[in-house]
Amino acid sequence: MSDVPVPPWRTTPKSGQARKPLSQDVILRAALRILAEEGLEGVSMRRVAQELHTGPASLYAHFANKDELLEMMFDHVLGEVRVPEEGEGDWTAKLKAIAWEVRRVLISHGDIAQVGLAVVPLGPNGLRLSEAMLGVLREAGIPDQQVAWAADRLSLYITADAFEVSYEARRGRGSPEEIAAYYAGVIQYFRSLPPDRFPHTTALVGPLGQGDDETRFEFGLDLFIRGLSTYIPADGGTS
């Protein structure tokens, strides 16, 4: 069979590899492509393999299992986060900038935030972000123990918010009108509750319906920073 001449209509020479060879990198890229187009639920080992014109078993030469693939996808996504340079405003501005930037990047990659809640993000980019947060908090003059715990809690808050928002977006499947209609329905439901059993819920129907996702995120971030400020000693942050 090998001595038959290659027919002229065969465009890919038989000796060269027909498909680009598999590697962590090409698998990761394919998986991120599917994440962008179909969300996290579309990212299955079989779907990724199909995207690369091979079978699912082939992926296991490059990743121990699906969780390892997801962890590497998450860290890859965090690579897009831009951390503020030295001297771009005071510590609260810098901390907010990091928080908003992480949230934006996570939400822009479907519901990948779910992975960040399930694993401790210790990849190179996770560490880079953690390092940046610790730096900003220390610079603020917050004591070391509070710095360490605050970075932990802030990461949790950002990731949880991003997951909630991205999941909600996937659920509503698109148009902002549908999401708005859903929330209008919830508020209408609150209004219909018996005021004797739900005096506060019914009294606060107005405020409960106020504010979009971004306003709520900012409010929580602000609470967090107000709380942290109380840990700064009188002479702190100006050294």
Partner DNA sequence: ACCTGAACACCGTTCAAGT
In the complex, the residues that contact DNA under the rule CB under 7 A are 19, 21-22, 42-47, 54-58, 60-62, 65-67
Partner that binds at residue 178, options a copy of itself, DNA, none, CB closer than 5 to 8 Å by kind = none
Q: Which does residue 56 bind out of DNA, a copy of itself, none, counting CB within 5 to 8 angstroms by kind?
A: DNA
Q: Which of a copy of itself, DNA, none has residue 225 at its interface (CB below 5 to 8 Å by kind)?
A: a copy of itself
In this complex, which beta carbon is closest to DNA, that of residue 42 or of residue 237? 42
Nearer to DNA, 112 or 228 (CB): 112
CA atoms of 125 and 239, how far apart (whole Å): 29
Instruction: Quote the least distance from Cβ 54 to DNA, whole Å.
Output: 3
Q: Taking the CA of residue 139 as centre, how many other CA atoms within 13 Å lie in the half-sphere pointing to its CB?
A: 16
Contact status, residue 170 vs residue 39, Cβ threshold 8 Å: yes
Of 166, 154, 152, 141, the closest CA to residue 221 belongs to: 154
Residue 132: CB minimum distance to a copy of itself, A? 8
CB of 105 to DNA, least distance (A): 24
Residue closer to DNA (CB basis): 60 or 219? 60
- Tokens read off for 100: 């908003």
Q: Which does 54 bind (CB under 5 to 8 A by kind): a copy of itself, DNA, none?
A: DNA
44 binds, among a copy of itself, DNA, none (CB under 5 to 8 A by kind): DNA
User: Measured from the CB atom, is 62 or 138 closer to DNA?
Assistant: 62
Q: How many Å apart are CA 157 and CA 124, to the nearest integer?
A: 21
> For residues 55 and 206, which CB has a smaller minimum distance to a copy of itself in the complex?
206
Binder of residue 100, out of DNA, a copy of itself, none (CB less than 5 to 8 A by kind): none
DSSP 88: S
Residues that bind a copy of itself (CB under 8 A): 117-118, 120, 122, 127, 130-131, 134-135, 138, 144-150, 152-153, 156-157, 159-161, 163-164, 167, 186, 189, 193, 197-201, 203-204, 206-208, 210-211, 215-216, 219-220, 222-228, 230
Q: Are 58 and 49 in contact (CB under 8 A)?
A: yes
| 3 state DSSP class of 39 | coil
Closest CA to 163 of 102, 223, 239, 207: 102
Distances (CA, A) of 48 to 2, 15, 30, 92, 99: 33, 26, 6, 41, 31
10 Å CB burial of residue 122 (0-12, 13-18, 19+) is: exposed
